[in-house]
Structure 1
Amino acid sequence: MSASLLSAEALPSSIGSPLLWTVSIAILVALLAVDFVVTRKPHEVSMREAIGWSAFYLTLPLLFGLWLWPAYGGGQSMEFLTGFVVEKSLSVDNLFVFMLILGAFAVPAAVQQRVLLFGIVGALALRGVFIALGAAMLKAGTWAFLVFGAILLVTAVKILREAVSGDEGKRDVRDMRSVRLLRKIMPVTDEYRGTRMFTRENGRRALTPLAVVVFAVFATDIVFAVDSVPAVYGITADPYLVFMTNAFALLGLRALYFVLDSALTKLRHLNHGLAVILAFIGVKLVLHWAHGVWPAVPGIPTPISLAVIVVVLATVTVTSLRANARARDASGSAEPKAEAVAEGRPPC
């Protein structure tokens, strides 16, 4: 039986020994340091560069999952890989919001990856805090699973409502309260100054637009942390595995952004799928809580969770591609009719 299906009283000790935590964090810091070196000199990211880094950051979690199997067992390996798929799916939604923020603030292409890197670092720090809080709640009792499940179900309803109404992404991020507050505290220059976030203008210390963008990204990181951490706790109760799934999912976002920049807008049903996934995991958590109270209530094993998540993601990808094809066909058939009307001929 997987760790996420055990009662809080019977939760196994984390596989994350002090040595494993230390080594993992050291490697994570080293990878982030490499990213900071890569982004130190502003430049536009080529597709070849983006694909190369994306492939590298997708290979790392697969190797880690394979290492977990002989080291700690197939259960932990399966939980990690399932959690990674969940977190990576949610991180794609992060990318869509990042794309909206970069577009709203007209961030120059040369410094976009620096903004994304700051966003990733902020997200990792926030996830660490929420993971620690989640672990403390789980130790306090099985009621934590009910709280996590409720959070995910509410979030799923909100995402699905916005997806159906078409309201997602319509908010002007420049009107965020946090951004308006930052502008009131310090003056902001009209133009970007490379990768600098602070400068002096007219003898006064001022923020550059880059600092405002990074602040807006940090603000959205908080919202995503509230959703993603309970979601992965629905897969595994091991804080170390929860942290590693988040870390691996976030590390490759900088490069993946440039790979999916155009593709993200074509996944028109992505939020529908994410809502279904979050609702499914929310139900799983509620069932787990109920199982602790009434043992006859069944749980949902991790392999079934992985299968459901993969099927949902595959389904929304196919439906998005078909919807895009229908839209192109409709647009193509409308053009001859418009030309005929303009020339005074009856449309076919």
Structure 2
Amino acid sequence: MSPTLSVLASSTTIDTVGTPWLWGATIAVVLALLVFDFALTRRPHEVSMREALGWTVFYIALPIAFGFLLWFHNGGTPAMEFFTGYLLEKSLSVDNLFIFMLLLSAFAVPKALAQRVLLYGIAGALVLRGIFIALGAAALATLDWAFLLFGLILLVTAVKLLSDALSGHEQDVDVSNMKSVRLLRRFWPVTDDYRGTKMVVTEPDPDRPNVLRRALTPLALVVAAVMATDLVFAVDSVPAVYGVTGDPFLVFATNAFALLGLRALYFVLHAALSRLVHLAYGLAAILAFIGVKLVLHWAHGIWSGVPQIPTAASLLVIVVVLATVTLSSLRATRGQQAAVADAELP
């Protein structure tokens, strides 16, 4: 091992918490929750606020219990890293919900099918994050400059987010230009309407009524679009949490717990998402902060005099930034909310 990597390994938790039984138990729980969610959404229905709140509370209580379990068995350091990484991933996932909301609207997804689409997106995201986490762990173990690379990725992302926010650029989704959608339409016919939870159906060919054909439904297109966006999200998300902890198990756990609650959180925050007008500024600040932390971590391995940012400071920064942008967003849109309420009065 090179001298640089030796210093990095000594200052970062690397696969000390994730014992084989803990990896197995965590993956089993994640898979069981996914299977249960798929069974729960087998019969499409419109999600009520009460149902969404109940599941949101459950998926928040679950990582909190997991974090305290880590604290009891492994001490405060890995538990602090987990809570910080989880909060970071959860804040980034709220931004992801904006894109999901735009996609569901662009594809005119029926409300009863919305949670099914989100669930497919979550499952796809977990697989992609798992791949990226493994690649990230391999890079950190073999490449001295991996921390620098991850830090630069986050800094570039932060600059782009800030630039879009300052220019007033609104996120939009052009379904017709999405590569995943264009690829599917090129090779398979697509039905004009949704067919429940089915993504592939067999029906008569309009040009040859006596011949049956296999066709995709719009549900297949929107699921493909959501999974394509998952790939983009993973590029930013995984390096960000590696800025908090170098333990691949904790990186996986923070991603898994943050993603599992997205389905319910979407319906809780659906109305509030449009009011979080300053969220992009907050996420840009957080990503820039984590990016600087990674660069300093890399530099510390070369020049021991370079300071490092402790995990507790990272947690404090994330909490303060999220609280600030949430309060400022709600205050900025307070007049807009009052105007909408007045317009709805008879």
Instruction: Report the TM-score when normalising by structure 2.
Output: 0.92
Residues 197 and 219 of structure 2 are in contact (CA less than 8 Å); yes or no, is this contact kept in structure 1? Answer: yes
Write the distance in 1 (CA, Å) between the matches of 2:16 and 2:141. 12
Cα offset, 1:181, TM superposition: 1.6
Gaps of 5+ in 1: 336-348
Q: Which residue of 1 aligns with 2:191?
A: 189
Residue type of the partner of 1:206? A
The Cα RMSD (Å) is 1.6
Cα offset, 1:14, TM superposition: 2.8
Residue type of the partner of 1:49? E
Residues 80 and 312 of structure 2 are in contact (CA less than 8 Å); yes or no, is this contact kept in structure 1? Answer: yes
Cα offset, 1:225, TM superposition: 0.4
Q: Which residue of 2 aligns with 1:55?
A: 57
Alignment of 1:239-278 (within 5 A): 239-278=248-287
Residue type of the partner of 1:193? R
Q: Which residue of 1 aligns with 2:129?
A: 127
Residue type of the partner of 1:197? M
Q: Deviations over 1:239-292 (max 9, x none)?
A: 000000000000010011000111011101111111110010000000111111
Residue 279 (1) aligns with residue 288 (2): yes
Cα offset, 1:184, TM superposition: 0.8
Residue 36 (1) aligns with residue 38 (2): yes
In the alignment, which of 291, 297, 318 is matched to residue 309 of structure 1? 318
Cα offset, 1:307, TM superposition: 0.5
Instruction: Report the CA distance shift for 1:78/1:9 in structure 2 as closer, same or farther (over 3 A).
Output: closer
Q: Deviations over 1:128-176 (max 9, x none)?
A: 0000000001101331100000000011111111122222312423421
Q: Which residue of 2 aligns with 1:71?
A: 73
Instruction: Quote the sequence identity (%).
Output: 65
Residues 102 and 173 of structure 2 are in contact (CA less than 8 Å); yes or no, is this contact kept in structure 1? Answer: no
Write the distance in 1 (CA, Å) between the matches of 2:37 and 2:337. 39
In the alignment, which of 21, 24, 36 is matched to residue 23 of structure 2? 21
Secondary structure, counterpart of 1:189 in structure 2:
coil
Residues 105 and 174 of structure 1 are in contact (CA less than 8 Å); yes or no, is this contact kept in structure 2? Answer: no
Write the distance in 1 (CA, Å) between the matches of 2:334 and 2:18. 47
Alignment of 1:197-208 (within 5 A): 197-201=199-203, 202=205, 203-208=212-217
In the alignment, which of 222, 225, 238 is matched to residue 216 of structure 1? 225
Q: Which residue of 2 aligns with 1:105?
A: 107
Residues 15 and 249 of structure 2 are in contact (CA less than 8 Å); yes or no, is this contact kept in structure 1? Answer: no
Instruction: Report the TM-score when normalising by structure 1.
Output: 0.91
Q: Which residue of 2 aligns with 1:94?
A: 96
Q: Deviations over 1:16-65 (max 9, x none)?
A: 11111111111111111110111000000000000000000000000001
Cα offset, 1:328, TM superposition: 5.5
Residue type of the partner of 1:8? L
Secondary structure, counterpart of 2:214 in structure 1:
strand
Secondary structure, counterpart of 1:107 in structure 2:
coil
* Equivalent residue pairs, number: 328
Q: Which residue of 2 aligns with 1:114?
A: 116
